[in-house]
Structure 1
């Protein structure tokens, strides 16, 4: 596998880190000179990693090309590059559908989209892939959970739920602030909540039962979990998530 990355930001850094950590096989890995400090640091980790002098050199040295630039500059970055039929393109660019992507790279080679998240560096990330793609699966399955879907509508929906990261941390911050009000130091509150969330997340990987079943299993009739869940349900807190995600999905599809 001769792999190249156009764009060397946070996601590229996470993917390359995960590949090295979990032994994803590759012959050579070529990086764009953009974000030179990150690229140079990655190159020190393995002799097979090389920082190229240009984006075109990345293409010349690679058979599999990952596009990791922000979509706002996709046309500017890709317009001067010459792809050919041997290039297997995997795009990380949010909101750039396959049809538009095909026009940007101007090649008849294989194209797929993927949404890797930073946790792939730790082997705990979820990566959506569209359409099913054996090369993308070979890269991302060892780095966590690789979920392949057969339509861009489904892919867009998976992309939309990644907009809940900030709200997830905001809920934890609300809990931490409440604990501080009860007299705890913030550091202790944060440490407790971090471990608590890791435990809950780990439980989801130990079973394939529906989340609704896990909700029910975690509640004792008349218990404190049932109390909080009932109050949040009564106030429509969970429905707010669906409404917010509907808005994100509309935005993604307008951009496409």
Structure 2
């Protein structure tokens, strides 16, 4: 596989780092000259990685082209490039539809949207893909769990869920602050909660049980898990979470 990346930011760094981390097979990776410091650092990881002088040189040397530029400059950057029929285009550009991408890149072998997250750098996490595509699925299977959907409405919903990262960490921060108030030093609180979350995440990926089943299995009648869950439910915490996701989805869809 000859991979090229137009845009060398956080997600490109995570994907390329992950491919090296898991020992994924590829012929070479070509990086655009944007963010030279990131490109140079990635090129130092493996002799098969290089930084090209121009974005067009990335295209000319690649078969699978990953687009990782910000949406506001996508028309300008992509409009200046000459894509070929052989190019398999995988877009990480948020909010830019398949139809809009088609207008920007022209007639190519395939156009796919994907949402890789930072955890791919460690070969973990999940990546949403639309539409289903063998090459993109194989690429992200090396980096975690690819989840394919057939239409962009579903893809937008998966994209909206990624808005929960900050709130996930905010809940952990609230727990850590509470533990500090109980006299536990912050480093110990962070270490404890980090390990606690890893254990819970392992259970979700290894057990195969539904989330509702895991909720039920975590509660004993009259126990502390049941107490906290019931209090949050009564206060409408979970229903408000769903409402907030509805608002995010409307934004993702441009409504």
Relative to the length of structure 1, the TM-score reads: 0.98
In the alignment, is the contact (CA less than 8 A) between 2:89 and 2:108 conserved in 1?
Answer: no
Q: For the residues of structure 2 that align with 1:52 and 1:125, how far apart are their CA atoms?
A: 29
Equivalent position of 1:132 in the other structure: 132
TM-superposed CA distance for 1:107, in Å, is: 2.0
The change in CA–CA distance for 1:142 and 1:108 in structure 2 (over 3 A counts) is: closer
Partner of 2:2: 2
For residues 59-108 of structure 1, give each alpha carbon's deviation from its aligned partner in whole angstroms, at most 9, with x where no partner exists: 00011100011111111211111101110000001111100010111224
Corresponding residue for 2:104?
104
Partner of 2:183: 183
The equivalent residue for 2:123 is 123
Aligned to 2:168: 168
Tell me whether 101-110 or 223-232 shows the greater mean CA deviation. Answer: 101-110
| Uncovered stretches (5+) of structure 1, i.e. residues with no partner | none
Cα root mean square deviation, aligned: 0.9
Task: Please state whether the residue corresponding to 2:142 is helix, strand or coil.
Answer: helix
The whole-number CA distance in structure 1 between the counterparts of 2:254 and 2:109 is 27
CA distance in 2, matches of 1:108, 1:39: 26
Provide the aligned length of Structure 1 versus Structure 2.
255
Q: Which residue of structure 2 lines up, in the alignment, with residue 26 of structure 1?
A: 26
Is 2:74 the counterpart of 1:69? no
Separation of aligned partners in 2, 1:245 and 1:44: 40
Q: What 5-or-longer segments of structure 2 have no aligned partner?
A: none
Moved over 4 A (4+): none
